[in-house]
Structure 1
C-alpha cells in the first residue's frame, strides 16, 4: 500500500527529497506485489499541461528511477497545437529533436486508475544539467533562493473551471456564486468530478459555485510550493477527464466570454525551515516587516510580469473586461477588489495574489511571485500604504511582451533563460492570433457592408 498523502503546510526542498526516498521504497514493494503495473511519467510544459510517457512498472523501478527516461526536447519548443515555434530562444529544443531526460520526483506519486500510478518529473539535459526553461526547474531555483534567506513558502492555489456543452454554452445559464439549488443541473457531473479528485488523494479543502454561468471551484489545501503547483495541474487533468465522460468541456480559459473571468489565485505565506510562521506582525491582521518587504517586491514587479500572469490572447479579455480582475496594483486587507489581498490573521495570515488567469502556467506564476518577493526582502523594500495604487498591469499583450523582455525586475525574478523562453512562447501566441481569421472578424466585416 502506497501512502501518497501530501503534508499540509511548508516543506523544504530537502524534506521533499527525503519523502521521495520513502515513496520509492513503497512503490518498489507495490510493483513487486503486482499492485502497480504501469507508471505514467508527467512533465509540465509551457502551456500549463502535462507531456506524458507511460512505462511498465517493473522497467520504471529497475531502470528509470536510476537513469531517467527520454522525452523529446521539442516539448519546450512547441505551441499549444504541438507545432514547433520559430524563435531563437527555443532553437536548442528543436535542433535534431533529441531527447531530454525525465527524472521522476516520487514525492508526487498519485493513483491514476487501478494498477496505474502517475509521477511528475523534473527535466534535464543529457549531461545532467537542469533545463532552466522548464517551469518546474524555474520554481525549484526560486525556492532554493528563498531557502538561502531562511524562507520556506506554503502555497494554496485556487483554479476556477467553467463547464460548457460542446457548442460552448455553459451548463447553467446563471451565475453560481455560493449557489445551492442552482447547482442541481450539474450535480451528477459534480459528483463524478469530486470522486475523481478524491481518488487522487490531493486533499481538497472546499468547493462551491462561482460567479459566472457554469463556473465552479475546488480548492486544495495549502502545501509546499512544488506540491501545490503539481497538484493543481493533476487536479485540472482529473476534472477534465471526469467532465469528458459526461460529454462536457471543463474550460480553464481566462475568459469564457467578455465580462467573465477564470482565475488562478495564489495564496502564499512564509515560514522558517522549522515551520514557524514569518508572515504575521504585531496585530493579527498586520503583516510582519519581512512579509511587508516580500509583498512590496511582488507589487513592484507585477506589471513587468504581466505576460506570466496573462500568457494568451484570451488573458487580456479577462484583464480588460472581468469586474474582479486586477488591473490597478494595490494591496488591501480582506479586499477582493485589490490585486493582492491579505487574508486570514495570525499564523494563517497570507497574501492572495489575484493577477493570474486560469490559463497561466502555475509553476511559473509561483516562481515569479517568489522571485519578485525575495528581491523585496533582500532590498528591504518598504511596503506601500494600504490601498495606494503603485502601477497597473499591462493593458495589451504587446505592452506585456515589451515589459517582460525589457524588464530588469523580471529577469532578476526569473532569470534570462526563463524570460527569453516565455517571450518566445508568448510572441508565437500573438503571431498566431494575427494570422487567424475569427468569427469576430467576419462579423465585423459584415457590419461594414
Structure 2
C-alpha cells in the first residue's frame, strides 16, 4: 500500500480499481480516482450493493436468495481490501487494482462470496498443517470480430482467428501473436508467472499458461487474467470467449492441477525414499473422485457447461483416474515435488474460487475418511463402466443440494445460495425459445 500511495502521489497512478469476484467468476467493483482513494478509502474502506451476489448473468435482481431481497432493502457490503493483491494494470493507463473480500457491516465475512468459500477450505487445510498449491489452464477462442460486432450478429457467423486446427502449431500462434504477446507480457507485468501460449483444437482456440501458486493467489490471478484477456482483445479489435462450449467443435476447458504440501513446505503427496505416492495422496484422489458428482455444479456452473461433456472430446464423461491418461476425469502427472492431480472436469466458465474449493473439500473428505483409492483406469475412459459426470445442470444441482458431504464442507447457507443460482438459470433456460427450436419446428412440424 505504501508503494501504491507513492505512485499516486507522484502521478504515476491516477486510477485504482477495487474489485471482487462474483458468483459468475467476473470482476465487479469500482474505479476510484487516486486522490480520493488515498484520502477516503485507505484506512476507511468502501461499499457496494449486496445484490451483486444475488443476480443472474444479465444483472437482473432475482428471487430466492436469503442474504438480499427487495423486502430487505438491498443494503451494502463492505469491500475489504487485500493488500497482498495490489498490482499495476499495464494495459490500462496509470491504473492499479486491489482485490477485495466482502464483509457485512459488523465485519463478518459474506459466506456466499466465492473468495470466502475458498478461504474457508484453506482454513480447514491449515488446521491439518497443510497448504494447497494449484494451477489453472484456461482455453479461449479468439474471433476477429469486435465484441460490438459479435453482439450485432447475435454471436452467429463470427470469424475465428484461425480457420483450422492449430493445436501446438507455431504458424497458428504466429497468426495471432500480436494479441497473444500483449496478453503474455501484460500478465507478466501485472504479477502473474507466465509460462507461454499454444494453439488448441477448435478454430481460433488458444491457451495461455501460468505457473502454479498457492490456491488463493491462483484464483485471484485467474480472475484478473480472464478479465484482462477480454480487455486486451477489445483493444486489438477482437473478441475472446471462455464459454465452455461456444460451438459444435471442441469446448474450452479449465484443467486444474493441485497438490498439497505441509505448512513448512514438506512433500506430503510423495514419498521420496520409496519414489511413490503417499497414502495421503491416494486418499486425496479417492476423495475428489468420490465427491466429483456432488461438486460438479462448482466445476460446471452454467447450462452451456454440460454440452462440453462429450465422448471423444478430451472433456471427461466418466469419473475415473489414470496415470497421464487424458480420457480420465482425474489425470495423475509428475513425480516428486511435481506430483499432482489434474482435474479435467471444469470448463473455462468455472469460477476458480469455487472449483478450487470443491477440489480441496473433496480431497479432505478422502483424507479424513481414509478412503481407499480404486484401481487405476487404463485405456479409454469414455468406454469404461465408471460412474458418469452429471450430464445436465439439473442433475448436478440435485447432487449438490442433497449431498451431506457438500453441506458439511460448505455449510447450509452456501449450499442454498448456489442451489438457488442453479434454479434461476434453469428456469430462465426452460422458458426460452431457442434458435434450434425455431429451425426444427417453424416449418417442419
Q: Which moved more, 1:293-302 or 1:237-246?
A: 237-246
Which of the residues 288, 293, 300 maps onto 1:298?
288
1:1-150 pair list within 5 angstroms: 24-91=1-68, 95-112=72-89, 113-150=92-129
Which of the residues 218, 239, 244 maps onto 2:229?
239
C-alpha contact (below 8 Å) 2:310/2:316 kept by paired residues: no
Q: Once the 2 structures are TM-superposed, how far is the Cα of residue 90 of structure 1 from its aligned partner?
A: 5.0
* Deviation digits for residues 257-299 of structure 1 (CA, Å, limit 9, x no counterpart): 1242111111111111111221113578732111111111111
Q: Which moved more, 1:411-420 or 1:24-33?
A: 24-33
* Deviation digits for residues 96-144 of structure 1 (CA, Å, limit 9, x no counterpart): 1211000011111111234210011000011111000000000001000
Could you say which residue in structure 2 is the equivalent of 1:396? 392
Could you say which residue in structure 1 is the equivalent of 2:169? 179
> Helix, strand or coil for the counterpart of 1:67?
coil
Q: Once the 2 structures are TM-superposed, how far is the Cα of residue 251 of structure 1 from its aligned partner?
A: 0.3
Q: Which moved more, 1:439-448 or 1:334-343?
A: 439-448
Could you say which residue in structure 2 is the equivalent of 1:419? 415
> Using the alignment, how far apart are the partners of 1:131 and 1:412 within structure 2?
18
C-alpha contact (below 8 Å) 1:261/1:318 kept by paired residues: yes
Q: Once the 2 structures are TM-superposed, how far is the Cα of residue 198 of structure 1 from its aligned partner?
A: 3.0
* Deviation digits for residues 56-109 of structure 1 (CA, Å, limit 9, x no counterpart): 334334442323210110000111100012114454597312110000111111
> Using the alignment, how far apart are the partners of 1:119 and 1:152 within structure 2?
24
* Deviation digits for residues 311-368 of structure 1 (CA, Å, limit 9, x no counterpart): 1111111013661111211111111111011111111101111111111111000011
1:262–1:134: structure 2 CA closer, same or farther, 3 Å change rule? same
C-alpha contact (below 8 Å) 1:260/1:322 kept by paired residues: no
1:238–1:88: structure 2 CA closer, same or farther, 3 Å change rule? closer
> Using the alignment, how far apart are the partners of 1:93 and 1:119 within structure 2?
30
> Helix, strand or coil for the counterpart of 1:52?
strand
Could you say which residue in structure 1 is the equivalent of 2:153? none
Provide the aligned length of Structure 1 versus Structure 2: 426
1:188–1:38: structure 2 CA closer, same or farther, 3 Å change rule? closer
> Helix, strand or coil for the counterpart of 1:271?
strand
1:41-440 pair list within 5 angstroms: 41-91=18-68, 95-112=72-89, 113-164=92-143, 165=145, 166=150, 167-281=157-271, 286-320=276-310, 323-387=313-377, 391-440=387-436
C-alpha contact (below 8 Å) 1:89/1:424 kept by paired residues: no
Q: Once the 2 structures are TM-superposed, how far is the Cα of residue 38 of structure 1 from its aligned partner?
A: 2.2
> Using the alignment, how far apart are the partners of 2:299 and 2:158 within structure 1?
24
Could you say which residue in structure 2 is the equivalent of 1:16? none
C-alpha contact (below 8 Å) 1:159/1:263 kept by paired residues: yes
1:169–1:422: structure 2 CA closer, same or farther, 3 Å change rule? farther
Could you say which residue in structure 2 is the equivalent of 1:4? none
> Using the alignment, how far apart are the partners of 1:104 and 1:324 within structure 2?
39
Aligned-residue CA RMSD (Å): 1.9
> Helix, strand or coil for the counterpart of 1:230?
helix
- The two structures have a TM-score, normalised by structure 2, of 0.91
1:259–1:115: structure 2 CA closer, same or farther, 3 Å change rule? closer
C-alpha contact (below 8 Å) 1:101/1:123 kept by paired residues: yes
- The two structures have a TM-score, normalised by structure 1, of 0.90
> Helix, strand or coil for the counterpart of 2:322?
strand
> Using the alignment, how far apart are the partners of 1:136 and 1:284 within structure 2?
37
Q: Once the 2 structures are TM-superposed, how far is the Cα of residue 374 of structure 1 from its aligned partner?
A: 1.1
C-alpha contact (below 8 Å) 1:70/1:100 kept by paired residues: yes
> Using the alignment, how far apart are the partners of 2:275 and 2:298 within structure 1?
29
> Using the alignment, how far apart are the partners of 1:163 and 1:244 within structure 2?
11
C-alpha contact (below 8 Å) 1:65/1:103 kept by paired residues: no
> Helix, strand or coil for the counterpart of 1:304?
coil
1:176–1:286: structure 2 CA closer, same or farther, 3 Å change rule? farther
> Helix, strand or coil for the counterpart of 1:317?
helix
